[in-house]
Amino acid sequence: MIFEHSSKNKKILFIVFPIILVLGVFIIFYSPLIFQEGNPWPQIKGIARLNFSNKDVVKLDIGENKYITKSNDPEIIKSFMKDKGYDFTEQMGSGYLFKSDAGASAVATHRYYSRYYSLWSITENLSAAETNNNLWTTITNDDGITFQYPKELLAKYVSIAEWPPVIKIETDTYFCKTTPQEVSSMSEITSQRIVDNRTYCVNIKHEGAAGSVYSSYAYTTVKNGKLVKVNFSLRYTNCGNYDEEQNKACASEREAFDIDSTVDRIVQTIKLDLSQNESLSDQIKKCIIMSDMASKEKCDLLLKQITDYGSCVAAGFSIMKSNPPQCATPDGRTFIQVN
C-alpha cells in the first residue's frame, strides 16, 4: 500500500514539475509584459473573455474605464464607440477623439499590451465645447495665415518643444526627395506619406540632449495650388530613464503615437485669401473656357508653367489614383510621378 501511494506521488510529481518549470520560465522571460500594468489578473481575465467569447472589446475588472481588444486595429474601438453613440472625429497623438449627436465628446487613449492585444482608456460625456476649448485654439501668424492647432498633445511621454507650428505658404513646385533606405540614418530622414488621401513630404531631424531626443519636423504639402510648409519640434523622453513600469508605459505610448493626423488637421484649418492669392489651376480653369484671344494667350502662358508631375500637383490639379500616381492638366497632358 505504501509502495503504491509513493508510486502515485512520483507520477504526480513527474506531471506537475514540468508544468511548474514551463510556467516559471514563461514568467521569467515575459514578466515585463505580464506585469506592465501592475496586477496582471484583470488583463488575464480580459484576454480569456476575448478568446472564449464573440466580443471584440472587453471591459477590464478595474475601477476605471479601461478596455482590452485583440489587436491594435483602431477600427475595433471606432465600431465600439459607434455602438455607444459616438462618431470618430480625429486622432491626436495616441488618443482618438469622438463626438455624439447630442454634442458630448469622448477620448480613447491607446497603448499596447504585447503585439496581440491593446489597452484602451476611455473618458466619456465631455462637453464638445469643453473638449474643443481645451485642445484646440485659433491663431493668426505674422504672415496673416489663420489656422487652428492643439494646445497640447494627448501624450504623457511626448511633449512640445517648439510650438505652435510655424506655417509658411509658398508658390514653389512640390518636390520630395526621399532618403534611400540603404543610406537612411536615425539623425535625419525624408519620406513621403499619405494622410487621408493627401500627400505629404516629411523631413525629420533627431538630436539627443539630456536624456531626451528632440525631433524637428518639416511637413510639405499642396493646398489650393500653393505649397504649405509646417515646422515644429517635439521632445521624446528616453524611456530608459524610467523604472521598469514607466519604461513599459513609455514604450507602449511611443509605439501608438501618431503625429501625421494632427498635422493634417492643422493644414485643413488653414484659411487662405483666394481672392488675392488665386491658385494656378483656378486661373487656368477660368481662362480655358473663354473663346477670346486674350484668354487663350493667358492660358497658354499659364500652362507653360506646368512641365512635370510636381508642377502639375503644385498647380492644384487632381491626382489620379494609379500606380505610380499621375496628374492631368485641362489641355490633355498627363504627368507621372517619378521617384
Q: Which of 269, 294, 311 is the last residue of a domain?
A: 269
Do 233 and 163 share a structural domain?
A: yes
Domain boundary pick from 75, 106, 131: 131
In a domain, residue 329? The reply is yes
What per-residue confidence (pLDDT) applies to 241?
Answer: 83
Is residue 177 a part of any domain in this protein? Answer: yes
Q: Is the pLDDT of residue 274 over 80?
A: no
Please report the pLDDT score of residue 203 as a whole number: 96
Tell me, what's the pLDDT at 295? 79
Residue 4 sits at φ, ψ, to 5 deg, of -65, -40
pLDDT at 321: 77
- The DSSP H or E segment spanning 9 is helix 2-34
216: pLDDT strictly greater than 50: yes
Same domain assignment for residues 115 and 229: no
Q: How far is CA 135 from CA 28, 97, 158, 264, 335, in A?
A: 42, 11, 16, 16, 41
Res. 270: pLDDT tops 80: yes
pLDDT at residue 233 in the model: 96
What is the gyration radius of the CA atoms in the chain, in angstroms?
Answer: 27
Q: How far apart are CA 59 and CA 43, in angstroms?
A: 10
The H or E element containing residue 114 is none
What percentage of the chain exceeds 70 in pLDDT?
79
Which pLDDT tens digit goes with each residue over 104-118? 788 888 777 776 788
Could you tell me if 238 and 328 lie in one domain? no
pLDDT single digits (tens) 134-143: 678 888 888 8
Sorting pLDDT into bands at 50, 70 and 90, what band is 69? confident
Is residue 275 domain-resident? Answer: no
Domain closes at, from 109, 131, 153: 131
38 has pLDDT over 60? no
Does the pLDDT at position 293 exceed 70? yes
User: 202 and 103: one domain?
Assistant: no
Residue 204 within any structural domain of the chain: yes
Mean pLDDT check: name the lowest of 37-46, 250-259, 295-304: 37-46
Strand partners, 57: 69
Q: How far apart are CA 318 and CA 174, in angstroms?
A: 14
Nearest-5° angle of CA 211, CA 212, CA 213?
A: 140
**What pLDDT digit, counting tens, does each position of 124-158 carry?**
766 555 555 567 888 888 888 899 998 888 888 88
Give residue 152's domain range.
141-269
User: How far is it, in rounded angstroms, from Cα 176 to Cα 194?
Assistant: 13
In the predicted model, is pLDDT for residue 281 greater than 50?
A: yes
pLDDT at 70 over 90: no
Mean pLDDT of the chain, nearest integer: 79
Does 152 share its domain with 65? no
Is residue 91 situated within a structural domain?
A: yes
Q: Compute the distance between CA of residue 94 and CA of residue 97 in angstroms, rounded to an integer.
A: 10
Whether 228 and 322 map to the same domain: the answer is: no
Whether 179 and 66 map to the same domain: the answer is: no
Pairing of strands 104-113, 158-170: unpaired
| Residues 147, 264 within the same domain | yes
Residue 166 has pLDDT above 50, yes or no: yes
Residue 51, pLDDT above cutoff 50? yes
Looking at the predicted structure, is the pLDDT value of residue 32 above 50? no
For residues 102 and 160, state if they share a domain: no
Q: What is the pLDDT of residue 11?
A: 59
Clarify whether residues 218 and 291 are in a common domain: no
* Mean pLDDT within 32-40: 52
What integer pLDDT is reported at residue 12 of this predicted model?
60
Nearest to 128 by CA among 100, 152, 149: 100
282/29: higher pLDDT: 282
Whether residue 35 has pLDDT greater than 60: no
Q: Which residue has the cell 514653389?
A: 172
251 lies in some domain? yes
Angle, CA of 224, 228 and 230, to the nearest 5°: 150
What's the average model confidence in pLDDT over 298-315?
84
Q: Is residue 285 domain-resident? A: yes
Strands (E), the chain: 57-59, 66-69, 86-92, 95-100, 104-113, 117-127, 136-140, 146-150, 158-170, 188-195, 198-209, 212-223, 226-237, 319-320, 326-328, 334-336
Pick the residue with more confidence: 47 or 11? 47
Please count the structural domains in the chain.
4
* 258 and 178 assigned to the same domain: yes
pLDDT tens string 77-94: 888 988 888 898 877 777
> Where are the alpha helices (H) located in 111-206, listed in sequence order?
128-135
- Could you tell me if 154 and 265 lie in one domain? yes
> For residue 262, what is the domain's CATH number?
2.60.120
Q: What pLDDT is recorded for position 205? A: 93
Give a yes or no: residue 265 inside a domain.
yes
